[in-house]
Structure 1
Amino acid sequence: MKAIIRRIFGLLLICLGPAASASELGYDAYIDSPKRIKCMYGYVTAKTGNFDVARQIFEDCIARWNDVYSMIWLAQMYESGSGVPVDLDKAAALMERGANQPDEASYVSLARYHWGTALAEGRGVKKDPKAARMWLERASEGGQSEADEYLLRMD
Structure 2
Amino acid sequence: MSRKTHAVLLGLAMVCANQATANNEMSYEAYIDSPKRIKCMYGYVTAKTGNFSAAKAIFEDCVARWNDVYSLIWLAQMYENGSGVEPDLAKAAALLKQGAEQADEVSYVGLARYHWGVALAEGRGVQADPQHAREWLQRAAADGQSEASEYLKQMDAAAKTESAL
Following superposition, the deviation at residue 10 of structure 1 comes to 3.9
Cα deviation 1:23-47 (Å, max 9, x = unaligned): 1x42010010001000000000000
Partner of 1:41: 42
Partner of 1:140: 141
How much identity, in percent, do the aligned residues show?
68
Q: 1:59 to 1:138 in 2, by over 3 A?
A: same
TM-score norm. by structure 2 comes to 0.85
Following superposition, the deviation at residue 101 of structure 1 comes to 0.2
Separation (CA, whole Å) in 1 of partners of 2:44 and 2:14? 15
Separation (CA, whole Å) in 1 of partners of 2:118 and 2:7? 30
5+ residue gaps, structure 2? 157-165
Deviates more, 1:9-18 or 1:95-104: 9-18
Give the RMSD, CA atoms, in angstroms. 2.1
1:3-22 correspondence to structure 2 within 5 Å: 8=9, 10-14=11-15, 20-22=22-24
Following superposition, the deviation at residue 21 of structure 1 comes to 1.3
Cα deviation 1:28-73 (Å, max 9, x = unaligned): 1001000100000000000000000000000000000000000000
Q: 2:94 aligns to what SS in structure 1?
A: helix
Separation (CA, whole Å) in 1 of partners of 2:132 and 2:92? 17
Following superposition, the deviation at residue 135 of structure 1 comes to 0.1
Partner of 2:125: 124
Q: 2:92 aligns to what SS in structure 1?
A: helix
Following superposition, the deviation at residue 11 of structure 1 comes to 2.3
Answer whether contact 1:5 1:44 (CA < 8 A) is retained. no
Partner of 1:112: 113
TM-score norm. by structure 1 comes to 0.90
Q: Which runs of 4+ in 1 moved over 3 A?
A: 4-10, 12-20
Separation (CA, whole Å) in 2 of partners of 1:6 and 1:22? 25
How many pairs does the alignment contain?
151
Q: 2:85 aligns to what SS in structure 1?
A: coil
